[in-house]
């Protein structure tokens, strides 16, 4: 799971400037007025071989009765509750203040992985003031200048050194499965049924699972890592004062790092706009997937019910015409045993590599049936194709002019490759590169 790193401290010590420097882009408003950042802002950060999610928070004013500072304190509390690493930022220019001691005491009672950061150390002359901050009892401070970028690399090194060590080192034999969907769709029940035991909390109350929970398992010689995620609600439905916003961040991260996503739908509700958005995110991330229609036991059925339901889903998920559908009941166990074979099939297709010669034969046949498009007397020339990577299968098409490739012809080629090679259960990606004819 991608670690969460929260930046906290009293107002106006440069937290947002540090956030922008680490994120590599200006995402937080930076002003000299305390309290400008009144909400949590987050961004994905990469350093060396590590990646993590960085959270900016408003200033902590423990004694303030101002409604805005009270709200910001609640936001910071949520960040502290969910973060793996805390960056406690102080100000070298102002020196150690009583408010810093109060915040340090507050943090020590709530977290055990805190990095003390002394900001605004803009010159060697200011380094001597850093030693005063040892008095906060948080160990060695990291001196930086967010404005000038001094000490940022060393700070990033400390951050990644403090990440929690994963108890399970994944290898090539594992298939990572993210179980995703709206709250109360039955994700935890499905995980428990697959595991054959109660490993995650199951409740009728939406939002029981607040974090992504990793559980290894093995079935018929194949190793899996099941990731049960928090339900993803519509953005406007998330209470900004709740911990749920962070849970959603982790759920989306679980999708980004999985091999296959089980997208869970509630049969009793039918496919909703939010289901389509979740599926769309899985598709955009290039992940193999299976649509799982849960609670099928609650539906009154005749011989055509499943076909009607499937046609409705296919229409709403037209951008995922490669996906397979499975109708199950986690409560009764109906067809749950089919899920892992579907996962294996989707994973195998996502990991397929097609020889270049075979690919070019399929490309040639497709162009014989339907010539490449032309525009204003210029015709698209396609020289050859090669596969550059897997998961998802990604192909590089060498052409004379990328602007001449109409999206409809690109879609035609994708459909031809699917008819020839399959790729059921996984998106495929076709990239273009211009090449001069010789």
Pairing mode, if any, of strands 394-399 and 429-434?
Answer: parallel
Across residues 238-248, what is the average pLDDT?
Answer: 50
d(CA 255, CA 229): 9
Across residues 40-52, what is the average pLDDT?
Answer: 76
Give the tens place of pLDDT for each residue, 100-153.
Answer: 998 888 888 888 899 999 999 988 878 888 989 999 999 999 999 998 989 999
Phi, psi (degrees; rounded to nearest 5) at 147: -65, -45
Pick the CATH number of 174-350 from 3.40.640.10, 3.90.1170.40, 3.40.109.10, 3.40.50.300: 3.40.50.300
Contact 86, 115 (CB under 8 A): yes
Kindly list the distances between the CA atom of residue 160 and the CA atoms of 4, 45, 156, 348, in Å, as whole numbers in the listed order. Answer: 11, 11, 6, 33
Which residue is it, tokens 């915040």? Answer: 103
- The more confident residue out of 173 and 160 is 160
Phi, psi (degrees; rounded to nearest 5) at 75: -60, -45
Contact 216, 246 (CB under 8 A): no
> Closest by alpha carbon to 188, among 168, 206, 174, 175?
206
- The more confident residue out of 240 and 396 is 396
> Closest by alpha carbon to 214, among 267, 258, 156?
258
> Closest by alpha carbon to 40, among 16, 18, 21?
16
- The more confident residue out of 296 and 164 is 296
d(CA 95, CA 13): 11
* 255 pLDDT more than 90: no
> Percent of the chain at pLDDT above 90?
47
- The more confident residue out of 169 and 295 is 295
- The more confident residue out of 135 and 38 is 135
Question: Beta-carbon neighbour count of residue 435 at 10 Å?
Answer: 14
Tokens of 2: 């991608």
pLDDT at 125: 78
Q: Which of 56-60, 207-211, 221-225 has the highest mean pLDDT?
A: 221-225
Give the tens place of pLDDT for each residue, 306-320.
Answer: 899 999 999 999 999
* 245 pLDDT more than 70: no
Cis peptide before 392 (omega within 30 of 0): yes
Torsion of CA 418, 422, 427, 433, to 10 degrees: -50
- The more confident residue out of 267 and 202 is 267
Q: Which region holds residue 186: left if phi is over 0, alpha if psi is between -120 and 50, else beta?
A: left
Task: List the domain boundaries for the chain.
Answer: 4-161, 174-350, 356-434
- The more confident residue out of 32 and 62 is 62
Task: Tell me if domain 174-350 and domain 356-434 are identical in fold.
Answer: no
Tokens of 199: 């490993």
d(CA 322, CA 426): 6
Pick the CATH number of 356-434 from 3.40.50.720, 3.40.1350.10, 2.40.50.100, 3.30.300.20: 3.30.300.20
d(CA 216, CA 414): 35
The superfamily CATH assigns to domain 4-161 is: P-loop containing nucleotide triphosphate hydrolases (3.40.50.300)
- The more confident residue out of 211 and 24 is 24
> Closest by alpha carbon to 196, among 167, 224, 217?
217
* 26 pLDDT more than 90: no
Contact 117, 88 (CB under 8 A): yes
Q: Which of 74-83, 233-242, 336-345, 375-384 has the highest mean pLDDT?
A: 336-345
- In sequence order, the β-bridge partners of residue 8 are 88
Across residues 255-278, what is the average pLDDT?
Answer: 92
Contact 339, 190 (CB under 8 A): yes
* 166 pLDDT more than 50: no
């Amino acid at each position: 799971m991608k670690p969460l790193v929260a930046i906290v401290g009293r107002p106006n010590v440069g937290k947002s400037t540090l956030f922008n420097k680490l994120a590599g882009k200006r995402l937080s408003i930076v002003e000299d007025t305390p309290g400008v950042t009144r909400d949590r802002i987050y961004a994905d950060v990469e350093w060396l071989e590590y990646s993590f999610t960085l959270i900016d928070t408003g200033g902590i004013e423990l004694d303030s009765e101002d409604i805005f500072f009270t709200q910001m304190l609640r936001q910071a509390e949520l960040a502290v509750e969910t973060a793996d690493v805390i960056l406690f930022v102080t100000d070298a220019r102002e020196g150690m203040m009583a408010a810093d001691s109060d915040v340090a005491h507050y943090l020590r009672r709530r977290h055990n992985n805190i990095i003390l950061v002394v900001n605004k150390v803009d010159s060697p002359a200011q380094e001597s003031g850093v030693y005063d901050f040892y008095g906060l009892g948080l160990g060695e401070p990291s001196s930086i200048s967010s404005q000038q970028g001094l000490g940022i690399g060393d700070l990033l090194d400390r951050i990644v050194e403090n990440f929690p060590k994963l108890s399970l080192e994944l290898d090539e034999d594992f298939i990572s499965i993210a179980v995703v969907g709206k709250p109360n769709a039955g994700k935890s029940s499905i995980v428990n049924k697959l595991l054959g035991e109660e490993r995650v909390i199951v409740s009728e109350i939406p939002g029981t699972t607040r974090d992504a929970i990793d559980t290894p398992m093995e079935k018929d010689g194949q190793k899996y890592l099941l990731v049960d995620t928090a339900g993803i609600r519509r953005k406007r439905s998330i209470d900004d004062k709740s911990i749920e916003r962070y849970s959603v961040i982790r759920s989306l991260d679980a999708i980004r790092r999985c091999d296959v996503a089980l997208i869970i739908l509630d049969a009793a509700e039918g496919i909703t706009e939010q289901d389509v958005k979740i599926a769309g995110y899985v598709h955009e991330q290039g992940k193999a997937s299976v649509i799982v229609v849960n609670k099928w036991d609650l539906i009154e059925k005749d011989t055509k019910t499943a076909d009607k339901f499937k046609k409705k889903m296919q229409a709403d998920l037209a951008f995922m015409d490669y996906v397979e559908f499975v109708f199950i009941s986690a409560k009764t166990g109906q067809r749950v045993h089919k899920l892992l074979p579907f996962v294996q099939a989707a994973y195998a297709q996502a990991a397929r590599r097609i020889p270049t010669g075979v690919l070019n034969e399929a490309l040639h046949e497709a162009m014989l049936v339907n010539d490449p498009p032309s525009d204003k007397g210029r015709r698209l020339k396609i020289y050859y194709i090669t596969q550059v990577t897997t998961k998802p299968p990604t192909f590089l098409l060498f052409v004379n002019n990328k602007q001449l490739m109409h999206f409809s012809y690109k879609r035609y080629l994708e459909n031809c490759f699917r008819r020839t090679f399959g790729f059921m259960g996984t998106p495929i990606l076709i990239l273009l590169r211009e090449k001069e004819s010789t």
